[in-house]
Amino acid sequence: MLRRLGLASVALGAIVWSSAAGAQTEHGRFARLAILRPHDGDTVDFEAGYIRHLAWHQQAHDPSVWYGWTITFGDRQRCFVYGTFGHAAADFDNAVAPADDERDNVLNVTPHAQFVGNALYEYLPDLSRGTGVPQPTARLELTTVDLHSGAANDFEAALGAGRPALAGETLWYRLVAGGTAPRYVRLRPRATLAAILDDRLDQPPNGLDRLIANTTTEILTLRPTMSLGLGGK
């Protein structure tokens, strides 16, 4: 679905998977996330164009589920995040009609927005509570954690030790491509903003500060009309 940025910038964008790849399942461990910043004064046209592009995916019989969120709280306020989850690695080799996909993207989306992020992630079930495919709740907490070089093993070990204490859906992913590593993202879907603010028990274990170079937390709002296939979730 959206501009192909090359292997180093592979992202969670909107690609159409072939019928041979099959529908995305809860067993696939890979996810894609991408971020678009609408041009100033162009948000209305961007959203209309993105919805038209989703219609192209639907008409192309895309079996993937596409989530769409707007960043409500964070330095990237009003940016749009889209993602798809639960994919096998082979899915990414089986795009359908990529030329038509790109043509429609260039026609409807890229004139109105700029890509500011595009990445592949691997779900980490041993650190998480959930299936790796987030529930389509009204709100989503997105935490991005950049580690110091060489800290990944200790970080994952600490999160794994703290997993029994997780009280709600908490999904950890490791960056595979599309950014600076080692990087991890955590998704916490919640029904309300109050649930995110009140639920502080699901924070990473203490003692990880020495491993972490930077942490950013943003709160996103689900955009059902800018999503595809959530009815089956």
pLDDT tens-digit series, residues 185-230: 999 999 999 999 988 655 666 678 899 999 999 999 999 999 999 9
* 214 shares a domain with 190: yes
Examine the domain organization and report whether 116 and 129 are in the same domain. no
Q: Rounded distance, CA 147 to CA 137, Å?
A: 28
pLDDT for res 204: 64
Tell me: do 72 and 153 sit in the same domain: no
CATH code of residue 142? 3.30.70.100
83 and 179 belong to one structural domain: no
End residue of a domain, out of 101, 122, 143? 122
- Answer yes or no: do 134 and 86 share one domain: no
- The beta strands (E) that lie in the chain are given as 30-38, 67-73, 80-87, 113-123, 139-147, 171-177, 183-190, 212-222
Query: What pLDDT, on a 0 to 100 scale, did the predictor assign at position 198?
Result: 87
Q: Which residues contact 99 (CB under 8 A, 6 or more apart)?
A: none
Evaluate whether residue 226 is within a structural domain: no
- Between 82 and 14, name the one with better pLDDT: 82
Q: For CA atoms 20, 24, 28, 33, give the dihedral sign.
A: positive
Provide the 8-state DSSP code for 41. T
Domain span at 33: 7-122
Q: Are residues 45 and 116 in the same domain?
A: yes
- What global pTM score does this model have? 0.86
**Which of these, 27, 90, 95, lies nearest to 63 by C-alpha position?**
95
Q: Are residues 62 and 152 in the same domain?
A: no
Question: For residue 229, is it within any domain?
Answer: no
